[in-house]
Homo-oligomer: A and B are copies of this chain.
Amino acid sequence: MAGIHRHKFKTIDNTGFGPNSSVEGGRLMNKDGSVNLKKRGLPFWTRTSIFHTLLRMKRSHFLMMILLFYTCVNVFFAVIYFTIGVTHLMGVDGNVSLGYQFMEAFFFSSQTLTTVGYGHVAPSGMMANAVASVESLIGILVFALVTGLMYGRFSRPKAYLLFSNNVLIAPYKEGKGLMYRIASYKNNHLTDVEANLTMALHTKENGKTVTRFYPLPLEMSKINSLALSWTIVHHINEESPLYNLSKEDLDDAKMELITSIKAFDDHFSNIVQQRTSYTNEQLIFGARFLPMFERSQTGTSTILELNKINAHEPVTLTEKIHSNNVRNIEVKP
């Protein structure tokens, strides 16, 4: 397995991942671009940004949380009003069952919290009035918060990029290239799009597993505008750390490709960023991407077929670099 030591190739140690952070069976970066890392040693609330958690939560969960919160707060205040006594809620008949009284207290609470305040039930006396006064303040503060969260959720700059599921080793120029493909899938428009690709190899050095990071230079690392899809290409030539590495080599080294895309989104007028990583299992030797756009039937515009982002076909790789030792790699996709 000596071949995997890529001594002559430049490594970088400014990836933010340490050389010793590698773990058996784990990846460095998850598919969604988050780091495969847990934090510990500080209280949960200190090491968690509530705002961001609520911002990044799935929409359905977010709505559930609001509903749950609404119910809990109302129950909480209903208990207080109930304890004070429903006789201090004008309009509630004191002769009904306790359950019914609690229900009235609950709905009075909800009318206060949302500031609807119909008034058919209204607080009377110092205590009930004071509690209602505080509850309506809380209502306004909470919904101020919710307004901010709603806006934050919607306006959070996101790249909305679709990555191909696989990285292909395809014929490129006289030799081979490593290729993956991106497209923006929403009605936003990205300009000044930059791509960056780093390969992590977990190698044994002096009996210790060490993670080495190799930058993989791209044939084109910046485009002016991401109108169509963009196939990002690293040329596997003699300068490439991937040169002469076989699928087995890469599997052994648990190769991981870490890529980040940075762009200017002109809807948000903001810089957006999206990251992902590919493991060795997502690498296909000998395949090339199929086109993912076509002319519209009227012929006046182009159609980008987003479902074809990963469409590829097998292809035979023939290496002929400089030399006389042409080798064929049989590929069974």
In the docked arrangement, what's the CA distance between A133 and B75, Å? 13
* Residue A228 CB within 8 A of the other chain: yes
Q: Are A136 and B150 in contact (CB under 8 A)?
A: no
**Which residues from chain B contact A42 at a C-beta distance below 8 Å?**
185, 306-307
Q: Are B16 and A296 in contact (CB under 8 A)?
A: no
Within 8 A of B (CB), among A5-29: 13-18, 20-21, 23-26, 28
Q: Are A269 and B272 in contact (CB under 8 A)?
A: yes
Q: Are A137 and B303 in contact (CB under 8 A)?
A: no
**Which residues from chain B contact A264 at a C-beta distance below 8 Å?**
271, 273
Tell me, rounded to whole Å, the shortest Cβ–Cβ distance linking A133 to chain B.
4
* Residue A204 CB within 8 A of the other chain: no
**Which residues from chain B contact A15 at a C-beta distance below 8 Å?**
223-225, 227
Main secondary structure of the interface of A (DSSP, over half): mixed
In the docked arrangement, what's the CA distance between A52 and B273, Å? 18
Choice from B20, B115, B160, B296 contacting A116 with Cβ under 8 Å = B115
Listed A/B pairs (20) with beta-carbon separation below 8 Å = A21-B293, A24-B299, A37-B301, A41-B306, A48-B187, A70-B137, A107-B133, A111-B117, A111-B133, A114-B140, A116-B117, A116-B136, A118-B118, A118-B121, A144-B150, A147-B147, A148-B150, A264-B273, A269-B270, A270-B270
Q: Which residues of A contact B (CB under 8 A)?
A: 13-18, 20-21, 23-26, 28, 34-42, 46-49, 51-53, 55-56, 66-67, 70, 74, 90, 103, 107, 110-112, 114-124, 126, 129-130, 132-133, 136-137, 139-141, 143-152, 154-157, 160, 185-189, 191, 193, 196, 198, 220, 222-228, 230, 260, 264, 266-273, 275, 291, 293, 295-296, 299-308
